[in-house]
């Protein structure tokens, strides 16, 4: 899966393996009252067996670098609140069946077209 925001508010990752490759890449929006402008902090988090990572999936643009030589296993918990269970209509087809979202059309497959 490429760079994305999660549909749920809170995402928890339980890492089952320790890896020296394929870190989780995160673009975290930062701000501080003492600073005029906000900024983006780029982070790379490497999986460590037994570690739990909690993030606001809707606010953090993220993906994982691909594995090359190692196997990476993690359990993903996506927490929705009862009053807020929004999922884009194409989301499950995209994630589970690889069908491009209707809003992106055929070019979502990355094919070169004139
Ligand atoms: Fe995600």
Please check whether residue 112 lies inside any domain of the structure.
Answer: no
Please check whether residue 52 lies inside any domain of the structure.
Answer: yes
Mean pLDDT of the chain: 88
Q: Tens digits of per-residue pLDDT, 55-99? A: 999 999 999 999 999 999 999 999 998 998 888 888 888 878 888
- Is 64 within 8 Å of 24 (Cβ atoms)? yes
* Interval between CA 8 and ligand 1 midpoint (Å): 9
* Interval between CA 18 and ligand 1 midpoint (Å): 19
Please check whether residue 3 lies inside any domain of the structure.
Answer: no
pLDDT at 104 over 70: no
* Interval between CA 32 and ligand 1 midpoint (Å): 26
| Structural domain containing residue 95 | 10-30+39-103
In the chain, what percentage of residues exceed pLDDT 90?
A: 62
* Interval between CA 5 and ligand 1 midpoint (Å): 6
Please check whether residue 49 lies inside any domain of the structure.
Answer: yes
Neighbours of ion ligand 1 (CB under 5 A): 6
Number of domains within the chain: 1
Helices (H), the chain: 91-97
Please check whether residue 2 lies inside any domain of the structure.
Answer: no
Please check whether residue 85 lies inside any domain of the structure.
Answer: yes
Closest of 26, 24, 18 to residue 50, by C-alpha: 18
Please check whether residue 22 lies inside any domain of the structure.
Answer: yes
Please check whether residue 86 lies inside any domain of the structure.
Answer: yes
């Amino acid at each position: 899966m490429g760079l994305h925001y999660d549909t749920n508010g809170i995402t928890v990752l339980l890492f089952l393996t320790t890896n020296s490759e394929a870190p989780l890449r995160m673009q975290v929006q930062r701000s501080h009252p003492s600073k005029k402008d906000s900024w983006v902090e780029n982070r790379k988090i490497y999986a460590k067996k037994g570690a739990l990572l909690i993030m606001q999936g809707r606010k953090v643009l993220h993906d994982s670098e691909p594995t090359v030589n190692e196997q990476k296993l993690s359990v993903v918990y996506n927490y929705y609140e009862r009053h807020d269970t929004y999922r884009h209509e194409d989301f499950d087809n995209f994630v589970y069946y690889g069908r491009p979202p209707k809003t992106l059309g055929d070019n979502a497959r990355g094919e070169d077209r004139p």
